[in-house]
Structure 1
């Protein structure tokens, strides 16, 4: 290994991970825990790239070198003046090239034992993709099933509180999964960022213990669950929450209460169902939205959309659904959800 360089396997050895790519690259995805110290901002990177292609590499490097030096100086003044001599950072860019190389050179000249990530983000991304393909096969998943309104995500949280291992995919993708599942004011991450978070979660599980995960489709919102994981889930043992209709409606009214605040946003979400329901039905549901009548809307959605869809999908998608242990309940209050979780662990 060249002095001043390190591999992905050595990440835990460093005090800080510094991503020197542009803010847009960083926002799309980055190594867990990394901070962004761009040597070129988005506009500067685009400008240098244009000169490289349209004028010459030399002209691009001449401008880029000046901009990098300016940005490095600003970072050194603003962020690193309090770092002790023993501080050891790892620096990376797209593929371990000039951007991170320049940053590491200056940090090492100061006297810190800074290292450059071999292969950069590109190498890290390749490892994430490879391990998302292989790691699910080593884990013992238990699938928590149940129709919409069964409080599956809250049950997962209760299972975690009881010491179980859980994989909350909906938390990772910032979406509740259904047509109404977008979270107000919260954008979903990029596909790459989701996969990076997922990879970190899978790495942290003990293969000797079960991992509870909610039954999901291949797509949650606009993001896709990696193929190896969804196939492993679909072949895994299931447990089903069999909650009463009244309990489910009461839970939905609590969990989706914010939908009553914006009738237009709710109607936009409902419009996504126009190919699945009649025009008359959709118009009636939009009237519920205008009246802020969530009880009436949720009751019809359960009876006419969610439950029929659930019956079709679970039997066909989850191979062991027919053999699932059923947990019956008419109480999806906070206390009732904890009780469901306890019964799942006993099943």
Structure 2
């Protein structure tokens, strides 16, 4: 049998050479983060991994290895009979575990014995993670970014989706972070990905972009929920020109209540969020907002929050930049047809005005 081949890097070009990337770590490890496109064929599940680790520490190394080997053998056999049963003769898998050790070598050795030319990722997941960190934290962002800016409730996320449908390059940071970007932004029933998985998804998104074309990204803070935008991208966003969308306050309040309808009936959650506003309101104002929640007057609450809290905060940030927007789109309505027209206008702006004509930092 030929010796196992070893891959020393985890960059996309190297990974693209394989028919399948197989993550043999436990499902829990895989859920935290994994290589793009990898499937999870664990040689030890979460319970088995904990069992073997406990025996190793509390009893004996020999017994842990024996029990672990039995689990590994049964699990690999099941994968051969199910997930890998239809793979052809020339199938070329890349196998990895946490650090390129026993788990990946156990799977790779058997796959090689079957007759498939198999490669192990040297250093395992940790090699990939170092590549992601270098890509996001050490390499300057060279994309021509354009910020889609606007006060709370101005339908920026919907316009960004329309832009993507119209063929404009976009990065949906809120979608990647599974969060709508404010204290009210948690998506019910959908927890945010961990920071590592968020960064993996972000790298994959950035690598799919054409650096010769502009990229529109929604103006965000450096933190989306509990996920942190990597500094290199955040600095590029701060320097980027912006296209501002405006709409009347009552229309934004109406749109916001509609867009956040999933939390409208969660009274306790709404009250708790009001208590966590960064600039704490007076007791009188907070009592008035609580009364609006109790009355179900959510449009009035949204209008009050924007007028007294969110709009002033956005205005302060814009004054700090000291730059005029690349363009301003004033919308009277935030219905689907108006948002589609706004996206078309933005698409034309970014397509016809070269970066050399954009306002400088």
- Secondary structure of the residue aligned to 2:188 is coil
Distance, in Å, in 1 between the alignment partners of 2:323 and 2:254 is 26
Deviation at 1:134, TM superposition (A): 4.7
Distance, in Å, in 2 between the alignment partners of 1:161 and 1:313 is 30
- Secondary structure of the residue aligned to 2:82 is helix
> Paired residue for 2:327?
325
- Verify: 1:145 aligned to 2:149, yes or no: yes
Distance, in Å, in 2 between the alignment partners of 1:29 and 1:290 is 41
Deviations 1:263-311 (A, max 9, x none): 2222232232285212232232222222222111111111111111111
> Paired residue for 1:175?
179
- Verify: 1:263 aligned to 2:264, yes or no: no
For structure 1, which runs of at least 5 residues remain unmatched after alignment?
A: none
Distance, in Å, in 2 between the alignment partners of 1:172 and 1:135 is 21
CA contact (8 A) 2:242 2:326 kept: yes
CA contact (8 A) 1:238 1:320 kept: no
Distance, in Å, in 2 between the alignment partners of 1:173 and 1:315 is 27
> Paired residue for 2:82?
78
Q: Paired residue for 1:335, among 333, 337, 349? A: 337
> Paired residue for 1:292?
296
Distance, in Å, in 1 between the alignment partners of 2:275 and 2:212 is 45
Deviations 1:92-136 (A, max 9, x none): 101111101000111111122222112211001111111113555
Q: Paired residue for 1:99, among 80, 84, 103? A: 103
Distance, in Å, in 1 between the alignment partners of 2:211 and 2:138 is 13
* Greater CA drift, 189-198 or 124-133: 124-133
Deviations 1:199-239 (A, max 9, x none): 00111111111110011111110111001110111011111
Deviation at 1:83, TM superposition (A): 2.1
Distance, in Å, in 1 between the alignment partners of 2:279 and 2:255 is 27
Distance, in Å, in 1 between the alignment partners of 2:68 and 2:146 is 52
> Paired residue for 1:32?
36
- Verify: 1:61 aligned to 2:62, yes or no: no
Distance, in Å, in 1 between the alignment partners of 2:51 and 2:323 is 55
Q: Closer, same or farther in 2 for the Cα pair 1:343/1:135, shift >3 Å?
A: farther
> Paired residue for 1:227?
231
Distance, in Å, in 2 between the alignment partners of 1:26 and 1:280 is 49
Q: Paired residue for 1:312, among 299, 316, 326? A: 316
CA contact (8 A) 1:237 1:320 kept: no
Distance, in Å, in 1 between the alignment partners of 2:112 and 2:123 is 19
Deviation at 1:171, TM superposition (A): 0.3
When the two chains are superposed, the root-mean-square deviation of aligned CA atoms in Å is 1.9
Q: Closer, same or farther in 2 for the Cα pair 1:60/1:45, shift >3 Å?
A: same
Distance, in Å, in 2 between the alignment partners of 1:3 and 1:182 is 46
Instruction: Number of aligned residue pairs: give it.
Output: 344
- Verify: 1:215 aligned to 2:215, yes or no: no
Alignment of structure 1 residues 127-166 onto 2, 5 Å: 127-166=131-170
For structure 2, which runs of at least 5 residues remain unmatched after alignment?
A: 350-361
Distance, in Å, in 2 between the alignment partners of 1:187 and 1:321 is 36
With structure 1 as the length reference, what TM-score do the two structures score? 0.93
Q: Closer, same or farther in 2 for the Cα pair 1:343/1:249, shift >3 Å?
A: same
